[in-house]
Structure 1
Amino acid sequence: MDRARVSSGSPFEASIGFSRAVRVGYRILVSGTAPVEDDGSSTPGDAEAQAERCLAVIVRAIEQLGGSAEDVVRTRQYLVDAADAEAVGRAHGRWFGDVRPASTMIVVAGLLRPEWRVEIEAEAVVGE
């Protein structure tokens, strides 16, 4: 089966061995996406602003592989503080309120950069 990839532009892709997103057949899998701007800096602001950035990057990657936000069937949201759940949920709802994918919020001990409040991953299934 053919495999298509989208790069995040991260210098770590080759050394760690990952892609922003991979499409195999009808499935698109998007790696954990942190709130990182195009210049590599962290997205400023609260968890909601950071979630918005994560979701914009995720949907852009899905679109580059022939899908859309409407094709998302699963998301996982990793939070460093449970108090951010409502804010992250609002951002998620703006992107997927009508789609309503299966979704999980998980509180974790930390993310790779201390200023990150959230990291999100997604899966999509595109039609024939």
Structure 2
Amino acid sequence: MRRLISSGSTFESQIGYSRAVVSGDWVFVSGTTGYDYSTMTISDDVEEQTRQTLRNIGAALAEAGASFADVVRVHYLMPDLGDFEKTWPALQEVFGEVRPAATAFQAGLSSAEMKIEIEVTAHLGQR
């Protein structure tokens, strides 16, 4: 069974993707940035962008029937890895006990105001 989850972001319909896809016991959350989808605004602070990104991911996971405790892999994408340490407090809050497999990449993002993009994979079968 495959189920598509949307956050309501205009990017999803403009580009043609889902915020998350549930396939069996797996939840794949697309690369997610720090936009507040209700206002389509984004902070210029990397720590606040990280916190908003995690709120966006948390909402997608919840709609999928999952939580951060189910996350088994996380990818961090940043145009400037020099900012990565600034994100650690927010990341520690949600992943500190979960400790998923993780990789950080330095990469250009789709717009200059984006300072972090996070993608996660969760597995529901471990419950």
**TM > 0.5:** yes
Pairwise CA distance, 1:46 = 1.8
Structure 1: distance between partners of 2:62 and 2:24: 15
Structure 1: distance between partners of 2:11 and 2:44: 25
Structure 2: distance between partners of 1:45 and 1:117: 8
Q: TM-score, normalised by structure 2?
A: 0.91
Residue matched to 2:115: 117
Local SS of the residue matching 2:83: helix
Unaligned 5+ segments in structure 1 are none
Pairwise CA distance, 1:56 = 1.1
Structure 1: distance between partners of 2:60 and 2:7: 8
Paired residues of 2:44 and 2:113 also in contact (CA < 8 A): no
Question: What stretches of structure 1 move > 4 A for 4+ residues in a row?
Answer: none
AA matched with 1:98: E
Residue matched to 2:67: 68
Residue matched to 1:39: 39
Unaligned 5+ segments in structure 2 are none
Q: TM-score, normalised by structure 1?
A: 0.90
Structure 1: distance between partners of 2:14 and 2:52: 25
Structure 1: distance between partners of 2:9 and 2:56: 13
Structure 2: distance between partners of 1:121 and 1:96: 13
Residue matched to 2:29: 30
Pairwise CA distance, 1:15 = 4.1
Q: Structure 1, residues 66-108: CA drift from partner, whole Å, max 9, x if none?
A: 1111000011011111211111222111111000000111111
How many residue pairs are counted as aligned between the two chains?
A: 125
Structure 1: distance between partners of 2:25 and 2:96: 22
